[in-house]
Amino acid sequence: MATLFPFVCLSRANQERVVARFFDACGHDGYLYELDVDGTVLCRCWPLVPFPALVRGGPSPWHGAFRKGYLAFTSGESRACCPYKDKRKADGRLTWSRAFRASWHDGWRYAQTVAHTYACDWHSSGHSYTGVGSRKTPAAVLDFMADIAAALARQRWILRSGGADGADTAFEDGALSAGGSTEIFLPWPGFNGHPSRLCSVDAQALSRAAEMHPVWERLSSGAQKMHGRNVYQVLGRGLDKPSRFLVCWTPDGAVSGEQCTRATGGTGMAIRIASAEKVPVLNLCRQETRKMLEDWVRADCKLPEPWL
């Protein structure tokens, strides 16, 4: 299960990392931030459950109590461990202690709700899509990819991509420009200078890629990891939550495994995986697909079926 925190519940060091990555991050930005096991910020997402009014309302003296309650739940403590006592006066008058106590319980309950919701529903709710393509994607298409990613980010879709030059970078830049969430999968740490911590390829991903590649045994270890990384772009970290759709550009306009050619390049692996998982492929080399998405971006409305 992912470790997710509102901004106000992050340590000061992680708040600084978040602000360095997301320019609009703050205590009332409405996002949940996902941390790696070592505390490194991986990505952020829009919560399926609304924040308590305390967190939505901006800086507050009670944020500390909320944070303590949230962390208490994530540490396995029960609600009985609340450190704030009810110090109401003998004549029944209330004191500020009640507000701190209530904030602590709000934090504990919200952490419980987040744990349940994200363990069960988030990645199965269809909020992820894949944005990839050739490094030789035309400049005009790269600009349009950034527009698509920004529009999807505003609708709280999570981008899955690979940190390569060209299409991958265009999608990521567009998503981040709109404050969106990303999952950037790398074949090894520091690939292309990217800081993503999603940078290892396990045997299961390599095995799945080997099933799809016609001459797998001829590839170098590095090339195999590149293709294994592409599997994550479509199926997610656990290889069990396919993206709802894949947007790309390849010179041959391929939208299925059967249509992939040598010209499709490395994007062909993502297309093959998507095709095998019945994930719709939207190739911007196809004029009808590009026009459909241009009309959608211009209208700034929800995606049409069957991509929702």
Tens-level pLDDT at each residue, the chain (308 residues): 456 888 888 888 888 888 887 777 877 777 888 776 566 777 777 665 666 665 555 556 678 888 888 888 877 787 888 888 876 666 655 566 778 888 888 888 888 777 766 653 433 444 799 999 998 899 999 999 999 999 998 887 889 999 999 999 999 999 888 877 889 999 999 999 998 889 989 999 999 999 999 899 999 999 999 999 999 999 998 898 899 999 999 999 999 999 999 999 999 999 999 999 999 999 999 999 999 999 888 876 666 555 55
| Cα distances (Å, whole numbers) of residue 134 to 24, 145, 160, 182, 307 | 30, 12, 15, 19, 22
What pLDDT, on a 0 to 100 scale, did the predictor assign at position 47? 63
What pLDDT, on a 0 to 100 scale, did the predictor assign at position 62? 74
What pLDDT, on a 0 to 100 scale, did the predictor assign at position 54? 55
What pLDDT, on a 0 to 100 scale, did the predictor assign at position 302? 64
Residues 196 and 184 sit within 8 Å (Cβ to Cβ):
yes
44 burial class (0-12, 13-18, 19+ CB within 10 angstroms)?
buried
What pLDDT, on a 0 to 100 scale, did the predictor assign at position 213? 92
Structure tokens at 215: 């001459």
What pLDDT, on a 0 to 100 scale, did the predictor assign at position 59? 55
Structure tokens at 243: 């993206």
What pLDDT, on a 0 to 100 scale, did the predictor assign at position 16? 86
User: What secondary structure, in 3-state letters, does the chain show?
Assistant: CCEEEEHHHCCHHHHHHHHHHCCCCCCCCCCEEEECCCCCEEEEECCCCCCCHHHHCCCCCCHHHHHHHHHHHHCCCCHHHCCCCCCCCCCCCCCCHHHHHHHHHHHHHHHHHHHHHHHHCHHHCCCEEEECCCCCCCHHHHHHHHHHHHHHHHCCCEEEECCCCCHHHHHHHHHHHCCCEEEECCCCCCHHHCCCCCCCCCHHHHHHHHHHCCCHHHCCHHHHHHHHHHHHHHHCCCCCCCCCCEEECCCCCCCCHHHCCHHHCCHHHHHHHHHHCCCCEEECCCHHHHHHHHHHHHHCCCCCCCCC
In the chain, domain spans: 3-120, 126-299
Residues 187 and 222 sit within 8 Å (Cβ to Cβ):
yes
| Cα distances (Å, whole numbers) of residue 105 to 6, 60, 83, 95 | 15, 16, 10, 17
What pLDDT, on a 0 to 100 scale, did the predictor assign at position 4? 80
In CATH terms, 126-299 corresponds, of 3.40.50, 3.30.70, 1.10.10, 3.90.380, to 3.40.50
pTM of the model: 0.63
